[in-house]
């Protein structure tokens, strides 16, 4: 006889209380990141049974942000012994290694690839390679049919159900293949429905997914309309609906905007963006953009919109990066086609 889909409230609430007790006791714990604002709005970090969406235009650094979160899973959460499943369908492993080496040495990818490294840099690179070979990191290198992808994921989750934290990292999801040949169902919808079902079924699964912004935001010129909004997200309805937290990583300076947003004059009451005064211009009515990366939190499921006191945070684009040397690359250092 098929198990009834209708359950009595006492059974459901007891299950919920048991899960809450596991959070309080530390049996289920979020994975902390280097970003205090992300940890605060994410209920402590990367929380199991949650979907985190990171959106941005091409070249905004959203994949860099994703790689930083992946790194933090292991470097900050010592003793947690998490598992990472990396499904980056457009960024091959060698490019990921290059980006990590560039970030660790405060150099550009170009310099890492073609310049000799110092002994200290070689040590950093060796550590990155060693950590990247961790038995707790798994890859799905090539795009699959969505059904094949979800079946493989569920099999993996079933085999590792005793692991406290499993993080699925998804980039370039548009490359996944539609299961139905007639393509009546949107591929991303099928994927989001599937991972959402798995996240509800497995208490140890966290999903991080990269989303793309539409090109409309690149053509805006009015200062008051430069900030990203929900409609800017490609497949916004499905991404917004299934995500527990949605943040847009935005670099308006790259789009040619040196002034960003219109904040209005301060009043006697605390200003919504008082925590970002260092990034405001002299009039305190807009933000300056040079060397700034803006993190717009468009959705936090556990905090209602009317209670979201702070939905914007700003970080330095390249903290600690040394300036590029003023030199020309020659045929001896840079191959020319």
Q: What per-residue confidence (pLDDT) applies to 60?
A: 87
Contact call for residues 72 and 65 (beta carbons, < 8 A): no
What is d(CA 281, CA 258) in angstroms, rounded to the nearest whole number? 10
Q: What per-residue confidence (pLDDT) applies to 185?
A: 55
Positions in the chain short of pLDDT 70:
1-3, 180-185, 265-271, 305-307, 319-337
Long-range contacts of 259-264 (CB under 8 A, 24+ apart): 259/223, 259/286, 259/287, 259/288, 259/289, 260/223, 260/226, 260/227, 260/286, 260/287, 260/288, 260/289, 260/294, 261/223, 261/224, 261/226, 261/227, 261/286, 261/287, 262/223, 262/224, 262/286, 263/287
Q: What per-residue confidence (pLDDT) applies to 138?
A: 96
Q: Which of 29, 125, 44 is nearest to 82 (CA)?
A: 29
Q: What per-residue confidence (pLDDT) applies to 269?
A: 53
What is d(CA 70, CA 171) in angstroms, rounded to the nearest whole number? 12
Contact call for residues 158 and 166 (beta carbons, < 8 A): no
What is d(CA 267, CA 250) in angstroms, rounded to the nearest whole number? 28
Contact call for residues 31 and 206 (beta carbons, < 8 A): yes
Contact call for residues 82 and 166 (beta carbons, < 8 A): yes
Q: What per-residue confidence (pLDDT) applies to 332?
A: 42
Q: What per-residue confidence (pLDDT) applies to 39?
A: 94
- Each residue of 118-177: pLDDT tens digit? 999 999 999 999 989 999 999 999 999 999 999 999 999 999 999 999 999 999 888 888
Q: How many CB atoms lie within 10 A of CB 130?
A: 9
- Dihedral pair phi/psi, residue 142, rounded to 5°: -115, 145
Measured over the CA atoms of residue 280, residue 285, residue 290 and residue 296, the dihedral's sign is positive
What the chain holds in terms of domains, given with CATH numbers, is 29-89+140-265+272-316 (3.40.50.300)
Contact call for residues 260 and 281 (beta carbons, < 8 A): no
Q: What per-residue confidence (pLDDT) applies to 168?
A: 98
């Amino acid at each position: 006889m098929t198990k009834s889909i209708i359950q009595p409230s006492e059974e459901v609430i007891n299950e919920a209380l048991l899960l809450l007790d596991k959070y309080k006791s530390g049996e289920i714990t979020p994975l902390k990141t280097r970003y205090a604002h992300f940890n605060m709005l994410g209920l402590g970090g990367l929380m199991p049974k949650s979907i985190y969406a990171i959106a941005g235009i091409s070249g905004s650094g959203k994949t860099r942000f994703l790689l930083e979160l992946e790194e933090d899973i292991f470097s900050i959460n010592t003793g947690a012994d998490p598992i990472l499943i990396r499904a980056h369908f457009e960024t091959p492993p060698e490019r990921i290694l290059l980006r990590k080496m560039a970030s660790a040495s405060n150099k550009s990818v170009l310099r890492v690839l073609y310049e000799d490294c110092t002994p200290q840099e070689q040590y950093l690179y060796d550590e990155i390679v060693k950590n990247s070979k961790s038995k707790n990191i798994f890859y799905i290198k090539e795009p699959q049919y969505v059904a094949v992808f979800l079946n493989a994921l569920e099999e993996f989750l079933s085999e590792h159900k005793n692991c406290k934290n499993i993080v699925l990292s998804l980039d370039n999801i548009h490359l996944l293949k539609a299961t139905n040949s007639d393509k009546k169902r949107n591929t991303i919808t099928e994927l989001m429905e599937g991972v959402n079902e798995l996240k509800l079924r497995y208490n140890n699964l966290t999903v991080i997914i990269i989303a793309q912004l539409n090109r409309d935001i690149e053509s805006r010129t009015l200062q008051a309309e430069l900030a990203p909004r929900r409609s800017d997200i490609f497949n916004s309805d499905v991404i917004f609906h299934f995500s527990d937290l949605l943040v847009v990583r935005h670099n308006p300076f790259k789009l040619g905007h040196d002034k960003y947003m219109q904040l209005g004059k301060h009043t006697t009451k605390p200003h919504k963006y008082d925590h970002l005064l260092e990034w405001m211009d002299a009039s305190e009515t807009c933000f300056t953009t040079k060397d700034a990366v803006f993190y717009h939190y468009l959705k936090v499921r556990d905090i209602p919109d009317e209670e979201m006191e702070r939905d914007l945070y700003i970080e330095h684009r390249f903290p600690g990066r040394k300036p590029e040397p003023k030199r020309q690359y020659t045929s001896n250092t840079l191959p020319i086609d």
